[in-house]
Amino acid sequence: MANDHFVRFENVDKSYDGKQLVVKGLDLDIAEGEFVTMLGPSGSGKTTCLMMLAGFETPTNGQIYLDNKVISDIPPHKRGIGMVFQNYALFPHMTVYENLAFPLRVRKIPKDEADKKVDKALSMVSLQGFESRMPMQLSGGQQQRVAVARSLVFDPQLVLMDEPLGALDKNLRESMQYEIKHIHESIGVTVVYVTHDQTEALTMSNRIAVFNDGKVQQLSSPDELYERPVNSFVAEFIGENNTFAGEVMDSSGDQCKVKLNSGTEILANPIVAKAKGEKTTVSLRPERAIIDPETAMDNNHKGKIEEVIYHGDHTRLRLDLLGNKEFILKVPNSSNRMDIKEGRQINIGWNSVDCRALDPK
């Protein structure tokens, strides 16, 4: 049975200068075989967490467990954790083969067995035949693959990846995302992945830990994170988001009435703000609002089109709706598209379930 607490952060604090906490009381459990992404803006403490796990930083307080063992006293080279670095960190004076054989050689694995492992790892990233190349002779994408292969070649239980795709161009990054995901699925290794790119996190992960301000704001599956953010930071950070500031007027069960700053009252889903009189930020995903709904919805309002932006597969509209001049709508560019022009008034409707009353910003 898979271990649900394969990696475990227990009340971990980290401070570099003794004045500021970079990581605050972090608790995090990662199950064996999982692909967990640490996602957050720069300075949110995600890389620090990864470095503490790898052993290059020591926690100021708290414990980290790997497979139920405290790892604070184990030096990095004995942890047996594979790591892919931001700039790949391939050894420039060694060939691809030597790079991959390095972890095997220091483990005193016999040469014929090491050759097999290197070969297997290279075939995993489809780079057979590149053994004698130097890293400088490889393209960015190929270097990246070598780095991934090197982190896996000694069969670690856990692989850490620190923004490994950051230096690649968009197309390559997307194809590498799938490739890494497939490798993870085929060998079942536990992966902890750090990125600030939310699309990357959403496509690749089993679960995502959203970091901000040294804390995990939410740890859940990608769809859960997107559909049901638990606070306004997560709602803002993941995907696009329309917000209304207001105050809870009345709350009953799974609906609440929110009086917006513009004076209008709307129906929302009480998530954080529940009690009457609480300040709240209401969050609504652009694709959950519908133009000219055929049946009446919980909320129906009129908005004025301020701007039309063509995006190829869809068109984005910026509306002035209920006092929010930055209200975004996405309209698919299908054949029966409506007459959209700047300055027109249109009807917008949405359900209260999709409209989440979260903590005020």
Rule CB under 8 A: is residue 58 a binding residue for other proteins? no
Instruction: Give whole-number Cα distances, 332 to 176, 242, 280, in Å.
Output: 28, 18, 31
Q: Is 29 exposed, middle or buried (0-12, 13-18, 19+ CB in 10 A)?
A: middle
With CB under 8 A as the contact rule, the residue among 2, 70, 106, 249 that binds other proteins is 106
Query: Smallest distance from the beta carbon of 84 to other proteins, in angstroms?
Result: 9
Instruction: Give the C-alpha distances (Å, rounded to integers) separating 242 from 221, 283, 284, 290, 357.
Output: 22, 6, 5, 13, 12
Quick check: 76 binds other proteins (CB under 8 A)? yes
Select the residue interacting with other proteins from 1, 17, 18, 92 (CB under 8 A). Answer: 92
C-alpha span between 335 and 353 (Å, rounded): 30
Smallest gap from Cβ 154 to other proteins, in A, equals: 7
- Is 85 an interacting residue with respect to other proteins (CB under 8 A)? yes
Provide the 10 A C-beta neighbour count for residue 297: 17
35 binds other proteins (CB under 8 A): no
DSSP-based three-state secondary structure for 15:
strand
Name the strand (E) or helix (H) holding 227.
helix 222-227
Binding of other proteins by 206 (CB under 8 A): no
Site string for other proteins, 108-147 (x = CB under 8 A): ----------------------------------------
80 near other proteins, judged by CB under 8 A: yes
| Residue type (1 letter), 26 | L
Residue 107 binds other proteins, judged by CB under 8 A: yes
- Give least dist CB 79 to other proteins, A: 8
- β-partners of residue 218 are 210
Footprint of other proteins on this chain (CB under 8 A)? Answer: 54-56, 75-83, 85-87, 89-93, 102-103, 106-107, 150-151, 154, 160
